[in-house]
C-alpha cells in the first residue's frame, strides 16, 4: 500500500472587506478583501491538518496581496463591517435550538467562568 501525502496546499478564506484601494498591479480600484490563508497537510489530496496560517489583504481582481501580521489583521478586521457579524453568528450557532431561558442560563455561566 502506498500513501499519497503532501504539504503546501493552500486555501483562502475571505473574512471581510477593507474598503476601496487602487491596485498597483492591475490598476483597478476595487474593494479589497481581508483573507486568511491556511496551508494544509494533505492525504490523498484531501486537506487534513492546517499547519500554517497567514493573513493578507488581497485585490479581488488580480489576487495580488499584501501580507499582514496577526496584529494588523486584527485591526483591519475590527474596521470591517462584514466581520462585525462573525462573533454574533458564532453565538447564534452555539445557542441554536435552545430556549431563551437556557440561553440566558448559558450566558450567565460563561460570565461566571470569566470572573474566576
Applying CB under 5 A, which residues contact Zn ion? 23, 25-26, 59, 61-62
Q: Sign (positive/negative) of CA torsion 92, 36, 56, 72?
A: positive
Give the shortest CB-58-to-Zn ion separation in angstroms. Answer: 9
Smaller CB separation from Zn ion, 62 or 83: 62
Smaller CB separation from Zn ion, 27 or 99: 27
Give the shortest CB-11-to-Zn ion separation in angstroms. Answer: 20
Give the shortest CB-35-to-Zn ion separation in angstroms. Answer: 13
Alpha carbon 64 to its chain's center: 18
Q: How far apart are CA 42 and CA 85, in angstroms?
A: 31
HSE-up of residue 35 (Cα within 13 Å, Cβ side): 20
Smaller CB separation from Zn ion, 7 or 25: 25
Amino acid at each position: 500500500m502506498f500513501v499519497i501525502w503532501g504539504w503546501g496546499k493552500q486555501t483562502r478564506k475571505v473574512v471581510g472587506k477593507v474598503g476601496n484601494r487602487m491596485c498597483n498591479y492591475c490598476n483597478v480600484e476595487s474593494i479589497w478583501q481581508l483573507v486568511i490563508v491556511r496551508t494544509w497537510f494533505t492525504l490523498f489530496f484531501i486537506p487534513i491538518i492546517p499547519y500554517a496560517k497567514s493573513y493578507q489583504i488581497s485585490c479581488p481582481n488580480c489576487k495580488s496581496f499584501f501580507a499582514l501580521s496577526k496584529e494588523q489583521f486584527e485591526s483591519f478586521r475590527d474596521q470591517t463591517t462584514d466581520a462585525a457579524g462573525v462573533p454574533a453568528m458564532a453565538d447564534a450557532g452555539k445557542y441554536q435550538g435552545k430556549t431563551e431561558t437556557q440561553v440566558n442560563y448559558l450566558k450567565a455561566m460563561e460570565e461566571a467562568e470569566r470572573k474566576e
